[in-house]
């Protein structure tokens, strides 16, 4: 199989693999490649929703999105989201407009996600990926030692888009998706590589530290995982299929485009990770 590195530390394009060629897919160790490289790219694929889901199942079982608003889901498949610009309750809703790792605010974060481009704008609308393992490895040894054993709060409501939401809307969101605690340094279950498991969108504070101390510890780490040394920027073409490992990468969808951008997305269930956040557990449901 011909391959091409996407970025110095991670990401691999599989250049002559055809997603319709089941025998070739059987021969390629796709889950192993994903675990080692963090992001896989295949260009020029024509995937029906069924073919995309069948391909994604090679990495594990698919997550259902039945709880998402119907407008965001494919009409026939709860496992498939249609990623584009939406208006929900009169507000523009943008998928992934802040750095994140899928479902890190739950106790079963997604293992991987598969995004297939159906329509792309003439310019803009790129997706950025960050290598969280390389970002961790590049920290000074004493910083890495100081982070060992720390837990951080991941909270969906921490997102910028909820900044002007009324408190009762935030309380309802937290009742539905209570914040959780995740290990700040997460070891990849397949490669054993440690990675910085935090993101601008989800990570609110360090467990046991006050707001100011948390900010002082988290700010440089967030800068580290967004540093361009560890980022791959994907410029989409129609037919691109990207698979990313949410246990070792963050991603960010750029909203800087005009025109149509439509993607089909499914995600693969991960292993349990993290623990409930006691404050959230104690909060009364509104
Ligand atoms: O639209 C994109 O490029 C990515 C969207 C996103 O953040 C996601 O699918 O989790």
Q: Which two tokens stand for residue 36?
A: 């080692």
pLDDT tens-digit series, residues 197-226: 999 999 999 999 999 999 999 999 999 999
Is 195 touching ligand 1 by the criterion CB < 6 Å?
A: no
Looking at every residue in the chain, the average pLDDT score rounds to 94
Return the pLDDT at 46. 94
Residue nearest to atom 1 of ligand 1 (CA): 253
Active site residue 265: yes
263 lines ligand 1 (CB under 6 A): yes
Confirm or reject: Cβ of 186 under 6 Å from ligand 1: no
Tokens representing residue 213 in the block? 């101390």
pLDDT over 50 at 286, yes or no? no
Q: What is the DSSP letter of 49?
A: H
pLDDT at 283: 55
Which protein residue's CA is at the shortest distance from atom 4 of ligand 1? 253
| Residue 18 confidence (pLDDT) | 94
**pLDDT attached to residue 282:** 55
pLDDT digits (tens, 9 = 90+) for 6-48: 999 999 999 999 999 999 999 999 999 999 999 999 999 999 9
Coil, helix or strand at residue 134: helix
Q: Is the CB of 65 under 6 A from ligand 1?
A: no
For 46, the domain range is 3-282
Confidence bin at 281 (pLDDT 50/70/90): low
Q: Is 100 a catalytic residue?
A: yes
Task: Output the CA 184–ligand 1 centroid distance in Å.
Answer: 23
Mean per-residue pLDDT, 46-55:
97
Asked whether the predicted pLDDT for residue 280 surpasses 70, the reply is no
Percent of the chain residues past pLDDT 90, beyond the cut:
84
Quick one: pLDDT band at residue 167, thresholds 50, 70, 90?
confident
127 CA: nearest ligand 1 atom: 3
Segment 267-282 shows an average pLDDT of: 88
pLDDT for 240 beyond 70: yes
Q: What is the pLDDT of residues 86-98, one digit of tens each?
A: 877 777 777 899 9
The model carries a pTM of 0.95
Output the CA angle 175-178-182, nearest 5 degrees: 180
Alpha-carbon distance of 122 to 197, in angstroms, equals 33
Distance 228 CA to ligand 1 centre (A): 19
Please report, for the domain that includes residue 13, its CATH number.
Answer: 3.60.130.10
pLDDT at 1: 87
Query: Could you tell which of 238, 265, 266, 270 is best to mutate to test the pocket of ligand 1, judged by most ligand atoms within 8 Å of the CB?
Result: 265
What is the residue with the minimal CA distance to atom 2 of ligand 1? Answer: 253
Does the beta carbon of 95 sit less than 6 angstroms from any atom of ligand 1?
Answer: yes
Q: How many domains does the chain have?
A: 1
Question: Please, how many CA atoms are within 13 Å of residue 136, restricted to the half-sphere of its CB?
Answer: 23
In the chain, how long is the greatest CA-to-CA distance? 55
Average pLDDT rounded to a whole number, residues 104-131? 98
């Amino acid at each position: 199989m011909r391959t091409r590195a996407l970025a110095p530390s991670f990401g691999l394009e599989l250049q002559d693999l055809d997603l319709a060629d089941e025998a070739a897919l059987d021969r390629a160790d796709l889950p192993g490649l994903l675990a080692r490289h963090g992001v896989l790219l295949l260009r020029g694929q024509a995937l029906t929703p069924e073919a995309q889901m069948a391909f994604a199942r090679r990495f594990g079982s698919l997550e259902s999105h039945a709880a998402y608003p119907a407008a965001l889901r494919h009409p026939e498949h709860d496992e498939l989201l249609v990623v584009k610009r939406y208006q929900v309750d009169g507000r523009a809703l943008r998928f992934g407009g802040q750095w994140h790792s899928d479902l890190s605010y739950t106790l079963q974060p997604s293992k991987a996600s598969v995004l297939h481009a159906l329509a792309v704008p003439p310019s803009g609308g790129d997706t950025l990926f960050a290598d969280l393992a390389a970002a961790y490895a590049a920290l000074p040894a004493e910083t890495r030692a100081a982070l060992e054993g720390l837990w951080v709060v991941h909270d969906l409501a921490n997102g910028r888009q909820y900044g002007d939401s009324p408190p009762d809307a935030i309380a309802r969101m937290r009742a539905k998706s209570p914040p959780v605690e995740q290990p700040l340094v997460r070891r990849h279950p397949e490669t054993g590589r440690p990675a910085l498991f935090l993101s601008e969108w989800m990570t609110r504070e360090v467990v046991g530290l006050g707001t100011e101390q948390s900010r002082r510890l988290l700010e440089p780490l967030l800068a580290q995982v967004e540093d361009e040394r560890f980022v791959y920027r994907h410029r989409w073409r129609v037919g691109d299929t990207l698979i990313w490992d949410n246990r070792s990468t963050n991603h960010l969808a750029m909203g800087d485009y005009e025109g149509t951008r439509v993607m089909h997305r499914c995600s693969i269930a991960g292993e349990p990770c993290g623990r409930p956040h006691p404050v959230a557990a104690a909060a009364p449901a509104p």
